[in-house]
């Protein structure tokens, strides 16, 4: 069987495949048996996908190898290396199979390899930059490409007339124009590959790259028109055909753009409704973008333009609609696909070049083409730039022009187009193929190699990497608005006027229509920057720490001296990260019996000290939602705890300035701070309370500890879960608290005795990090739908990214020494620096989440918005209730 398969393999299996496969096979057991076949070799059934996978694998491995050496990749662009690799592989294939087996098929290229690259570039295109320079980009893309095509074609024809091209090359003016049209277009793939490594300034990059993307329409039209003219024969071309050619330019480009925008609209609209099926969001993005590409291709419109517009148009809305994880997925998948496609393209380009049967060499043509494309590119750039500079505020200087001329790389698009030519209609096809290959190789390898030193030598302004700042964002917006306003005053309908109009329109109608209501409400660029800054800060804090996930670092630094620092810093921190994603439910335990408070303390002690809750099985598993597994969650907890400590130390260093600064400010949040302070004080009080109640209290503590541990162990046995504070114990405690509460808690009018379920959720241990759902009670767990768990997990992850310390209170709590309270108590509520400033609203958000599981995703999305209203009526409540306790205690004293 094996031997039978080998000859079959021989043909298609060459190169990498051929060398790998046979060596593996002898090892595999499986001699053919008569009768029942134990082992069957079915190469043909898997041949095509297998080869595809192998090629991609080879390309990826090659990429890894290239990047092993930083030296090589810093000098030689990856695209060059890939082309060279392709040449080598092609040579091997040729040597083994005696005929060139693989090459870049135009069909494959246009249908599979090009779309990911274009989508990637369109989706991540800096749209503001693009539109700011749209005039220049369009000029270069349309006029420049036309100019290149016609001048190159005509000049080559002139060269032939002058007898410098061998007479074997049978081509007329139309043939040369056709060739000129396909060779003239700057190639997005090549430009991207080379320019991504040369960090020229953004304006320059967007002009060259934007041109390479938008010139597709021109290329397509020119190519098609010339091709059909060639096929018709020059004699049959009539005047109307020229007119049609011009008209088709508009049809193809505007049609392509329209198709892209329609799909962008559809895509945005679809993602608006994926709230419950988050998992398919990334897929939708790719599917609809690909559909746009195929639709445009089907209607023979500019497919590149369609995908570019689709990516460009949908991004804002899609990003707002899809979940954070989907966003990351989209980003990574897009980059992976694009990089993969790019790799394969360049490798296949190299391989294709080996196939000498396809091409015929003519030095005159090759050299002439090389010279002309460089010369006319440069000339065209200079001429256009001269015209554009009359209008541009910031003129493109000479150095920019040099880079732009030199950066006009040709690539796989030209190659695929030349392969598509019909040999019977274009007799000189082989010559054209050879010339195209040389041109592509020259531009990618020679120009690609030299452009970096050139840019360095010319001292082209590089792109500056600077951190986004709130000021930047704010000023940018302010300037925009100022300019729009002044244009209004002057009555001049210029660029700013139209952008302002568009933004108004977008805000009023489009965003309303295409964004989820929750997403629409929190969608703002300044807010986004703020959010991202917070994430960046969090990450940098972690980076500073070095050893992040060591659970040994979890021991609580219970030094009283650090207390105040920690308190203020946490407050400040929360104020800063006040996105409302602070999920600390501790805030809720506003009023409890002493017993409850002790339990709370105990809980936090256990939570912090006895950290190692292990759940040994997963309660549910769903294909539609990604649930974090236990390990991940535990890591996250450790991460959060670590993070919090880093934040504290960081803030305390920085805070010295900030705090002094913030003090004299008129605080509108004064009342909030107070409320929060009181809440915090309540928490902080409990250990004090403990000490206050002398021996009996101590015994009580032990009791509760035991109780908890009991429940813990029993639950562990039962449910195989970690430390669980069961609903039973909870409600018991609460009942107890209520019964005995007459002693301790003065029933303030604000205190509504919480129903058991409510209390269950409010009690502090229910707020265990991220495990609320699991720990609520075993009954509840059964009821809680998957949605809710997901919502919770999401909020946790968002929390994590915001780096707001969810479990801050635990260590702070324990850090408070159970010292005699007499001195501390009266001043505690007056303490201007509260230990925690958790917005109570969050707690409420958390509660309502667990109350109505159906609403959870919505709640979670609304979360940052909820604070406002909650704040107003919740904090006074907490404040008053707290005072009540204080008072009561005083009485007992």
Partner 1 sequence: MGSGGSRAAQVPDADSIRRETGFSQATLLRLYHRFRALDSNKKGYLSRVDLQQIGALAVNPLGDRIIDSFFPDGSLRVDFPDFARVLAHFRPVDDEDTGTRDPKEPEPLNSRMNKLRFAFQLYDLDRDGKISRHEMLQVLRLMVGVQVTEEQLESITDRTVQEADEDGDGAVSFLEFTKSCWEGLGLSWHFLKEAIYISWREDGSSRRSPFRCQGD
For residues 116 and 332, give the distance between their C-alpha atoms in angstroms, rounded to a whole number.
Answer: 12
What DSSP character marks residue 587? G
How many Å from the N-terminal Cα to the C-terminal Cα in the chain? Answer: 94
Place of tokens 């972690």: 542
For residues 702 and 696, give the distance between their C-alpha atoms in angstroms, rounded to a whole number.
Answer: 10
Q: Which is nearer to partner 1, 170 or 472 (CB)?
A: 472
| Under 8 Å between Cβ of 175 and 428 | yes
For residues 640 and 634, give the distance between their C-alpha atoms in angstroms, rounded to a whole number.
Answer: 10
Output the smallest distance, CB 837 to partner 1, in A. 9
Q: Which is nearer to partner 1, 19 or 478 (CB)?
A: 478
| Three-state DSSP state, 462 | strand
| Three-state DSSP state, 322 | coil
CA dihedral in degrees (80, 85, 86, 91; nearest 10)? 130
Output the smallest distance, CB 863 to partner 1, in A. 11
Output the smallest distance, CB 540 to partner 1, in A. 15
Output the smallest distance, CB 660 to partner 1, in A. 8
Q: Which is nearer to partner 1, 851 or 869 (CB)?
A: 869
Output the smallest distance, CB 869 to partner 1, in A. 9
What DSSP character marks residue 627? P
Instruction: Give the C-alpha distances (Å, rounded to integers) separating 756 from 422, 738, 750, 845.
Output: 81, 11, 18, 18
Residue 126, token pair as written in the block: 């800096």
Q: Which is nearer to partner 1, 503 or 635 (CB)?
A: 503
Q: Which is nearer to partner 1, 488 or 632 (CB)?
A: 488
Output the smallest distance, CB 102 to partner 1, in A. 44
- Cα angle: 231, vertex 235, 237; to 5 degrees: 70
For residues 136 and 138, give the distance between their C-alpha atoms in angstroms, rounded to a whole number.
Answer: 6
Q: Which is nearer to partner 1, 140 or 293 (CB)?
A: 140
| Under 8 Å between Cβ of 660 and 574 | no
Q: Which is nearer to partner 1, 494 or 890 (CB)?
A: 494
Output the smallest distance, CB 483 to partner 1, in A. 6
Output the smallest distance, CB 135 to partner 1, in A. 4
Q: How many CA atoms lie within 13 A of 279 on its CB side?
A: 8
For residues 628 and 615, give the distance between their C-alpha atoms in angstroms, rounded to a whole number.
Answer: 12
Q: Which is nearer to partner 1, 339 or 518 (CB)?
A: 518
Helix, strand counts (H, E) of the chain: 41, 0
Q: Which is nearer to partner 1, 616 or 654 (CB)?
A: 654
Residue 114, token pair as written in the block: 């090009």
Q: Which is nearer to partner 1, 507 or 892 (CB)?
A: 507
Q: Which is nearer to partner 1, 371 or 391 (CB)?
A: 391
Output the smallest distance, CB 698 to partner 1, in A. 39
Q: Which residues of 252-290 are buried (b: 16+ CB within 10 A; e: fewer)?
A: bbebbbebbbbbbbbbbbbbbebbeebbebbebbbebbb
- Cβ neighbours, 10 Å, residue 53: 11
**Neighbouring residues of 304: CB distance < 8 A, sequence distance ≥ 6:** 114, 118, 188, 213, 216, 217, 256
Instruction: Give the C-alpha distances (Å, rounded to integers) separating 880 from 586, 686, 738, 845.
Output: 17, 17, 19, 21
Closest CA to 606 of 719, 693, 487, 722: 722
Q: Which is nearer to partner 1, 459 or 466 (CB)?
A: 466
| Under 8 Å between Cβ of 269 and 261 | no
Q: Which is nearer to partner 1, 447 or 579 (CB)?
A: 579
Output the smallest distance, CB 858 to partner 1, in A. 15
- Cβ neighbours, 10 Å, residue 755: 10
Output the smallest distance, CB 499 to partner 1, in A. 9
Helix-strand-coil split of the chain, %, nearest 5: 75, 0, 25
Q: Which is nearer to partner 1, 618 or 663 (CB)?
A: 663
Q: Which is nearer to partner 1, 388 or 723 (CB)?
A: 388
Output the smallest distance, CB 838 to partner 1, in A. 11
Output the smallest distance, CB 662 to partner 1, in A. 7
Instruction: Give the C-alpha distances (Å, rounded to integers) separating 189 from 325, 413, 415.
Output: 28, 8, 12
Output the smallest distance, CB 493 to partner 1, in A. 6
Q: Which is nearer to partner 1, 593 or 871 (CB)?
A: 871
Q: Which is nearer to partner 1, 526 or 539 (CB)?
A: 526
Give the largest CA-CA distance in the chain. 113
What DSSP character marks residue 425? T
- Cα angle: 96, vertex 99, 102; to 5 degrees: 95
Helices within 391-447 (DSSP H only): 398-406, 412-419, 429-441
Output the smallest distance, CB 469 to partner 1, in A. 4
Output the smallest distance, CB 666 to partner 1, in A. 7
Output the smallest distance, CB 795 to partner 1, in A. 16
Strand partners, 462: 200
Based on C-alpha coordinates, what's the Rg of the chain? Answer: 34
Q: Is the dihedral of CA 269, 270, 275, 279 positive or negative?
A: negative
Output the smallest distance, CB 510 to partner 1, in A. 14
For residues 652 and 649, give the distance between their C-alpha atoms in angstroms, rounded to a whole number.
Answer: 5
CA dihedral in degrees (449, 455, 461, 462; nearest 10)? 30
Q: Which is nearer to partner 1, 489 or 696 (CB)?
A: 489
């Amino acid at each position: 069987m094996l031997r039978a398969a080998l000859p079959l393999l021989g043909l298609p299996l060459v190169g990498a495949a051929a060398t790998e496969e046979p060596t593996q096979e002898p090892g595999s057991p499986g001699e053919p048996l008569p009768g029942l076949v134990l082992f069957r070799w079915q190469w043909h059934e898997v041949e095509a996908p297998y080869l595809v996978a192998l090629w991609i694998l080879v390309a990826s491995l090659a990429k890894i190898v290239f990047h092993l050496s930083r030296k090589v990749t810093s000098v030689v662009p990856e695209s060059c290396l890939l082309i060279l690799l392709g040449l080598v592989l092609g040579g091997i294939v040729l040597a083994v199979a005696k005929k060139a087996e693989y090459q870049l098929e135009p069909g494959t290229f246009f249908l599979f390899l090009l779309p990911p690259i274009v989508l990637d570039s369109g989706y991540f295109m800096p749209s503001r930059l693009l539109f700011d320079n749209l005039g220049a980009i369009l000029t270069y893309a349309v006029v420049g490409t036309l100019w290149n095509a016609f001048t190159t074609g005509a000049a080559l024809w002139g060269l032939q007339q002058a007898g410098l091209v061998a007479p074997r090359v049978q081509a007329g003016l139309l043939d040369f124009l056709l060739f000129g049209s396909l060779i003239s277009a700057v190639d997005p793939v090549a430009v991207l590959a080379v320019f991504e490594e040369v960090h020229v300034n953004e304006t320059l990059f967007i002009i060259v790259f934007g041109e390479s993307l938008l010139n597709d329409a021109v290329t397509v039209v020119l190519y098609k028109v010339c091709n059909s003219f060639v096929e018709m024969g020059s004699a049959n071309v009539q005047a109307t055909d020229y007119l049609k050619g011009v008209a088709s330019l508009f049809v193809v480009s505007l049609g392509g753009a329209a198709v892209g925008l329609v799909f962008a609209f559809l895509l945005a609209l679809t993602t608006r409704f994926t709230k419950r099926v988050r998992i398919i969001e990334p897929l939708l993005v790719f599917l609809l973008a690909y559909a746009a590409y195929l639709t445009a291709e089907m209607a023979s419109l500019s497919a590149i333009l369609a995908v570019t517009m689709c990516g460009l148009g949908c991004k804002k809305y899609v990003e707002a609609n899809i979940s954070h994880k989907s966003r990351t997925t989209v980003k990574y998948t897009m980059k992976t696909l694009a990089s993969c496609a790019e790799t394969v393209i360049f490798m296949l380009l190299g391989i294709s070049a080996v196939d000498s049967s396809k091409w015929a060499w003519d030095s005159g043509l090759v050299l002439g083409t090389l010279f002309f494309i460089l010369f006319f590119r440069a000339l065209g750039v200079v001429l256009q730039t001269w015209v554009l500079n009359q209008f541009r505020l910031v003129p493109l200087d000479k150095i920019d022009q040099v880079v732009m001329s030199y950066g006009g790389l040709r690539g796989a698009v030209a190659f695929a187009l030349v392969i598509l030519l019909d040999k019977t209609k274009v007799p000189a096809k082989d010559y054209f193929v050879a010339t195209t290959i040389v041109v592509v190789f020259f531009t990618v390898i020679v120009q690609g190699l030299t452009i970096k030193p050139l840019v360095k030598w010319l001292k082209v302004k590089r792109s500056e990497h600077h951190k986004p700042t709130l000021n930047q964002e704010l000023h940018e917006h302010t300037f925009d608005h100022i300019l729009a306003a002044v244009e209004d005053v002057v009555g001049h309908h210029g660029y700013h006027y139209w952008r302002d109009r568009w933004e108004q329109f977008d805000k009023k109608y489009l965003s309303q229509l295409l964004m989820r209501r929750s997403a629409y409400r929190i969608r703002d660029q300044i807010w986004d920057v703020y959010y991202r800054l917070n994430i960046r800060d969090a990450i940098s804090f972690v980076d500073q720490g070095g050893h992040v996930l060591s659970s040994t670092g979890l021991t609580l630094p219970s030094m009283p001296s650090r207390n105040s620092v920690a308190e203020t810093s946490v407050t400040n921190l929360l104020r800063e990260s006040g996105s409302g994603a602070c999920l600390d439910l501790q805030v809720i335990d506003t009023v409890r019996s002493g017993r409850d408070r002790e339990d709370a303390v105990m809980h936090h002690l256990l939570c912090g000290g006895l950290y190692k809750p292990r759940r040994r099985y997963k309660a549910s598993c769903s294909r539609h939602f990604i649930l974090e597994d236990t390990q991940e969650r535990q890591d996250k907890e450790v991460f959060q705890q670590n993070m919090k400590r880093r934040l504290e130390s960081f803030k305390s260093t920085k805070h010295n300035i900030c705090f002094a600064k913030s003090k004299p400010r008129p605080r509108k949040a004064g009342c909030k701070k107070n409320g929060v302070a009181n809440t915090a004080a309540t928490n902080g009080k409990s250990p004090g309370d403990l000490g206050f109640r002398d021996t009996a209290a101590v015994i009580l503590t032990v009791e509760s500890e035991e109780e908890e541990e009991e429940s813990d162990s029993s639950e562990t046995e039962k449910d195989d879960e970690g430390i669980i504070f069961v609903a039973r114990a909870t409600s018991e405690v609460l009942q107890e608290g209520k019964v005995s509460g007459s002693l301790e808690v003065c029933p303030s009018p604000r205190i509504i005795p919480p129903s058991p379920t409510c209390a269950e959720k409010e009690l502090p241990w229910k707020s265990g990090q991220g495990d609320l759902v699991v720990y609520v009670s075993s009954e509840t767990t059964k009821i809680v739908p998957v949605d809710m768990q997901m919502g919770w997990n999401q909020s946790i992850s968002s929390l994590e990214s915001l780096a707001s310390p969810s479990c801050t209170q635990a260590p702070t709590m324990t850090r408070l020494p159970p010292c005699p309270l007499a001195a501390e108590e009266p001043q505690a509520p007056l303490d201007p620096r509260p230990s925690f400033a958790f917005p109570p609203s969050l707690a409420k958000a958390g509660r309502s989440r667990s109350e109505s599981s159906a609403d959870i995703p919505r709640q979670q999305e609304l979360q940052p918005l909820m604070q406002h209203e909650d704040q107003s009526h919740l904090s006074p409540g907490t404040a008053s209730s707290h005072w009540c306790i204080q008072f009561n205690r005083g009485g007992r004293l």
